[in-house]
Amino acid sequence: MNVLLEPFAYEFFRNGMIASVIVGAICGYVGVYVVLRRMSYIGHGLAHALFGGAVLSTIVGVNFFIGAGVWALVNAVLIHLISHRRLVGADAAIGVVTTSSFALGVAVVSTYRRFTLDFEAALFGNLLGITATDLWVIALTSTAVAFVMIVIRHQLLFSTFDPEVAPVYGISTNRTELIFILLLAVTVVASTRILGVTLVSAAVVIPPVIGRYLTQRFQTLLVITPVIGAVCAATGMYLSYFIDISSGAMIVLTFALVFFVVGGRRWLRGSR
Amino acid sequence: MLSDRVQLDAPRNEPVTTQKHTDRVHHVHGRLHGHRHAEGREWSERGRPIVELVDVSSGYRQTLGIADVNLKLWPAQFLAVVGPNGGGKTTLLRTILGHIRPRQGRVMVHGTAAGGSALGAVGYVPQLEQIDLSFPITVEEVVLLGLSRQRRWFRGTSAGERDRAHEILERLNILELRQRQIRELSGGQQQAAFIARALLGEPELILLDEPTSGLDIRSRDEVVHFLHEINHSGVAILITSHDLNWVAAHLPWVVCLNRHVIAEGDPQEVFTPAVLGETYKGEMVVLQHGDMIMVGERPHSPNGR
């Protein structure tokens, strides 16, 4: 029994565990709309774009959350504006903005090689290096994101389900989409410290897909997806202590395992 | 051999062409300024129209979807707009909704410019094909979206609002399906759910884009039944349709649109080979049997004759 509780004796583990539960839950909640809006690529792209901001904030000496946060918001607005000009599709707009931003980060890294370790943390996360301050920032930003999403839940639902008709009922789909992409950017920034830019999109996309396998009701989906995200993240974090695998990778592998188990069960039932 | 308009029964009046608005507009029997009868429903052309388009030209980017369109829709009127693909039917609806700003002319809804507050009295039902029907949402949730104008911040749905939604669902015969996923319903029932959403806002006008598109005969029959019932309660309805025979059989007033308004009037009078030929830019055959008319294309001869 002591062996099982051993990791909780360490503060770094407790911080990491709390952070991963919060991030798993908020990514899952935001992810419901990301998946239903078919915006998975935006979550992936925004996370990659963040790398440029993370690198620049390290070099300039600005706090990661502020530097990367501003960078992510600028990228989110750019993606929104380009895709709404309708000159190019949203996928192409994301491709242009996020790969440019990522390439900028890579270019800076190749110039300032002494920052390699920090950049590895930006790429793959550093769950075990979460400080109490990081934990507060993650908790407050996640609460703020959840609060705003609950306030605009009617607008989000209508503009996600039927964007053409929503304006007839006084809902600005354009404004709702901009608010949502900014909330997604904030979520990605809060989660990157834990999962890194390369893995964060998994936390946004996989739990809602698992949720869709388990329920066909939207309101239920909104409740179970954050629970799935939090439980999988906690499980992954816990297992990483014993298996000695990178925590971020273990969390994503746990998401993937649950996805294949639940999806496989559904497939077997359907094929019978 | 079929003539252009095959008379299977009594002779019919030919359309009257007027020179109003543009040279191309046929005003069949003109507009009677008084009362019109439509399957038992009357509408008045006195007072203020719900929708009024005056010399409206509108479209997306460089393309002009509609040009020089003049149209009035009166309270409790039931009107269909027919025309070819790309003829401007959807552009017309979106212009009335204020989604597209007209390049020329003015669009008035309830006496104010289209869009914004004018939309309070308008319900809109889009084409089913444009909706992601795999979305995990129940019929009741779809209908309650119709309260979005009133639902702000943390306000949920009151018991009274839910009861009203249930009343409408009962009226449209889908109350027992309210907890079912929208994708589990037949096409006609799905259309009824979206009509119920539009009705929940208590509109004076409902716009429907191709409400019978992709539906089988039974579902189309259900839809026309719903629409007539709604119209009988005093709600004006404007639909777009490709289904000329459905329009001819069920609707009292039709506008033929191909960028311009080609003709307007009772389908019995408007659906002539000349008007439909000009609307669809092709040869059309119109068969008549009593009050029933059937529209078809002229079959191509194998040797091109």
pLDDT digits (tens, 9 = 90+) for B17-32: 333 334 445 555 444 3
Asked if B145's CB is within 8 angstroms of A161's CB, the reply is: yes
Q: Which of A162, A213, A217 to mutate to test the interface with B (most CBs of B within 10 A)?
A: A162
Contacts of B149 in chain A (CB under 8 A): 169-170
Hey, what domains does chain B have and what are their CATH numbers? 5-135+201-297 (3.40.50.300)
- Please state, in angstroms and rounded to a whole number, the distance separating the CA atoms of residues A255 and A206: 6
Residue A58's pLDDT is: 77
Mean pLDDT for the stretch of residues B225-238? 88
Residue stretches of chain A with pLDDT short of 70: 1, 85-90, 113-123, 271-272
Residue B181's pLDDT is: 92
Which tokens in the block code for residue B212? Answer: 């019978």
Among A36, A150, A154, select the one facing B135 at the smallest CB separation: A36
Residue B41: pLDDT above 70? Answer: no
Residue B205: pLDDT above 50? Answer: yes
More confident residue, B282 or A138: A138
Give the pLDDT band (50/70/90) at residue B161.
confident
Neighbours of A163 (CB within 10 A): 19
Of A81-85, B168-172, B220-224, B268-272, least confident by mean pLDDT is A81-85
Residue B3: pLDDT above 70? Answer: no
Residue A88's pLDDT is: 66
Residue B13: pLDDT above 60? Answer: no
Contacts of B153 in chain A (CB under 8 A): 151
Of B38-42, B49-53, B112-116, B207-211, least confident by mean pLDDT is B38-42
Give the pLDDT band (50/70/90) at residue B217.
confident
Please give the residue of chain B at the shortest CA–CA distance from A164.
Answer: B126
Average pLDDT, chain B: 79
Among A150, A170, A217, select the one facing B138 at the smallest CB separation: A217
Residue B140: pLDDT above 90? Answer: yes
Asked if A167's CB is within 8 angstroms of B97's CB, the reply is: yes
pTM: 0.81
**How does DSSP assign A191-219, residue by residue?**
HHHHHHHHHHHHHHHHHHHHHHHH---HH
Residue B35: pLDDT above 80? Answer: no
For residue B66, the SS3 value is strand
Residue B186's pLDDT is: 85
Under 8 Å CB-to-CB from B138, ≥6 apart: which residues?
A217, A218, B178, B179, B180, B181, B182
Contacts of B114 in chain A (CB under 8 A): none
Q: For chain B, give the number of residues.
A: 305
Yes or no: say if B58 and B65 are a contact pair by the CB < 8 Å rule. yes
Residue A86's pLDDT is: 62
Residue B31's pLDDT is: 42
Residue B33: pLDDT above 60? Answer: no
- 3-state SS track over B115-151: CHHHHHHEEEECCHHHCCCCCCCEHHHHHHHHHCCCC
- The domain segmentation of chain A, as residue ranges, is 2-263
Q: Which of A154, A158, A171, A213 to mutate to test the interface with B (most CBs of B within 10 A)?
A: A154
For domain A2-263, give the CATH superfamily. ABC transporter involved in vitamin B12 uptake, BtuC (1.10.3470.10)
Contacts of A216 in chain B (CB under 8 A): 136, 181
Residue B12's pLDDT is: 39
Closest-CA distance, A215 to chain B, in angstroms, reads: 8
Which tokens in the block code for residue A152? Answer: 């605009």
Q: Which of A124, A84, A75, A77 lies closest to A103 in space, CA to CA? A: A75
Q: Which of A33, A156, A160, A169 to mutate to test the interface with B (most CBs of B within 10 A)?
A: A169
For residue B80, the SS3 value is strand
Residue B118's pLDDT is: 58
pLDDT above 90 coverage of chain B, percent: 18
